[in-house]
Structure 1
């Protein structure tokens, strides 16, 4: 069966509102290893929720990320799908291939080193401590939204520290970023938010060109490869925006999903508090069981190829349903649908990708998540009884909740001194 000629009634419809990510994942895996599907705007893609297939595509040399390899786009058949095309057509390192991708990633890697990530540990500890102290002042009868008051500010403050933004610019960046991601924002507010983010980061680049500092922006400006290649201002802007949008949303959703998993599985929380299960294990199980990424758009076949036993034509697009792949019982066994932080498995999830495009910010996301979860679970009990109901974050990209509300109870006194 060819994707272009597949009858409409045989296309699996991936819900752009992401109202039931896990149920959709079950249905997708039952439909096959690689399934003809349709996205918002009538875009036809192959889709998979099977981990081995997703990993093979992510790591396979027969697949590309640059949209020049997307046959339907190049033929002018994709005309009206702004939410989808925003990801597919994003310029910069994210959607480059081959030598160009290696060059850009090499430049970024020289600036964003593991040593730089480790250097942020004291600030992460401090900021987590400040946020915990603020939460400790909450009235015990008041509902508090942990997404808004804990999961959002931590990665935002750390990314601003990483960039070298001062406090006033950091507050402005957070405000504009919220306008983009607030589900209640209209188009004008979203456009203004994006313009504000671009203005702040552009100004930061100009400032760091004049006066370098000990920050990622300055390091990216200084980075060169062996042939003298550098990141110009446009690529610097795109790279920093990639760090902001991909790094913040992923970490925020990881924290929300992990906290929700522990609240809903008190026996797992007790294992953590007793020391029987590590916070590292909680983070990895959350990434598997409730990946912050719903669907990864896209990979394109660079040649005719057979994937999961299905013939795929050159130029076909493939959507990788990452959240679905984390619950693949072929990979993780009959308990794949259960949250089990003590799980023993050698199979790796692909929540941070796989292969050449593996997420460069994964070490920082893991460090923030470990630090925040350890401090929160040690300090608070969280009761969601009677709390406002949460709804899914309604996008193809994200897999999380729009709020995580409950009442906090201190397990021990907390110093309010930061």
Structure 2
């Protein structure tokens, strides 16, 4: 059976998060203070014609299941005269899965829970320190969602396993695909610099996620932000894991250091998109590992429906630790294929992956997209996840409070689980479908 540390981040997280910030309901506001009520609800229906051997508990056949969550709470800010402003948020999240559970067997459909999702306080400097620009100092503490760059290394703590592994020891409450819970349990974050020019983040992050072995890490970034693009350095020192829950690969996080160089932007050319990152990992007891990608895209702005065509090549070495990667720019980042990225593998390790994407906008509130992926395993002695996938999807913003996102995927593995792959019983094409509704106020 193919085995890998598994990290899952919702392909909806960024879309819903951005919409929620816009759609918050204002309870009170004056010149110096604001209090908002926030509601985010997501529900999805899923079906996979084939099952996968990742969890070790499923048999050949199909899976049909449902997932949903509701996040509800308050957020606000208070001006402090000439001393900047204070801000904070508190939110609960109720989640669940129903039916068969997902096609990899991470959930069994019986997961339900309600827990605190956000609980943080912060301070922004306003114009107090003019040399650093407006809000050039931002200090926050507590339970919150944290992202670095485009999510290649860190995009929240969003691995949401259910009861399908280890008798439910890693259960986080359901909604595996939707990745209901995204916040790190404990954080201390200092952000220096404004929205342009040189800026930096210094962070301490502690996960309470057993599937992430409760990883603790220190993160430092240095970026230069300009109109033509952003260039950044990232340093991550993972200093501790809970050995009780750690896989052999996760045990190497205790003392592992990750360095990355990244860049994204248009290089001053309208309609062009360029992005890339290289990450190098020094592990305490095993060989060094690395991962990198290069991506380019072009928007045909003068053509009907403004089609955007993109290509990306990414490579992840045999023992590369994917840390907390996730969605930042829509479907396919960094969740490469709705079947392969969620259930079958590869999970951004021991693989070379090519991606071609095409999106069009027939209406102002409708985006239609197609994604093609090719998966090429580097070391097939560790398992064979060679294959191809095509995903077709629609992002329909019905109104300011509702999004509807249908998707159909066709996944073709080269090998069955019996031949060293992960698909149970055969290597037939898998027709996969999902329909997701997201509402926010």
Tell me the TM-score normalized by structure 2.
0.22
TM-score using structure 1 length: 0.23
Between 1 and 2, higher relative CO (CA 8 Å, sep ≥ 6) is seen in 1
Between Structure 1 and Structure 2, the one with more strand by share is 2
Q: By percentage of residues, which structure has more helix?
A: 1
